[in-house]
Amino acid sequence: MYIDVLKCLRERRSVRAFKSEQITDEELKAVLEAGTFAPTGMNYQDPWIVAVQNPDIIAQLVRMNKQFTEQEGNPYYDAPTIVLVFASRPEKWKNGMADGSLVLGNMMNAAHAIGLGSCWINREHEMFDTEEGRELMSQFGLPEGLMGVGALSLGYPAAPLRPARPRKDNYYRVIK
């Protein structure tokens, strides 16, 4: 098992082309549950995870995200599922952004482990800091005082994953 985890970590890549087929409920649950087991400061379990498969809400998220980028096309790469992660604002919990980032990382690795593709998407912080974003968070049943941390595009990869680029020299140091 230990070697399988390291292999998974080495082979995971961001996916930017997805099949239109929706993932199964079991696959989605596995990814979401992996997010809930991410480490959080003081085991506070501050992040909130929202998976969106509703086409109308996905279209709204695409439109909202595009307001904060000059990127052409769908910023979620036409993934059939978008997973949003929220956390408390720093004035309530200083580790919110870090904790939410770990949740996203866990979900990305879990997705790869079960044959799904994912890509971390930015701009949720800006999107959900708007009136429309706050209204959407309320529709999701989230408490007030949260910020968007990031999102995952999630689905079946439309193409084989590329091999990893070489790691830079001297990436890490060991000081004894």
Q: What pLDDT was estimated at residue 71?
A: 86
Q: Tens digit of pLDDT per residue, the chain (176 long)?
A: 456 999 999 999 999 999 999 999 999 999 999 999 999 999 999 999 999 999 999 999 999 999 999 989 999 999 999 999 999 999 999 999 999 999 999 999 999 999 999 999 999 999 999 999 999 999 999 999 999 999 999 999 999 999 999 999 999 999 99
Q: Are strands 81-88 and 146-155 parallel, antiparallel or unpaired?
A: antiparallel
Cβ-Cβ contacts under 8 Å for 65 (sequence gap 6 or more): 75, 76, 121, 123, 124, 127
Q: What pLDDT was estimated at residue 69?
A: 94
Q: What pLDDT was estimated at residue 2?
A: 56
Domains of the chain: 13-155 (3.40.109.10)
From residue 27, give the alpha-carbon distance in Å to each of 82, 110, 163, 167. 13, 10, 24, 30
Q: What pLDDT was estimated at residue 148?
A: 98
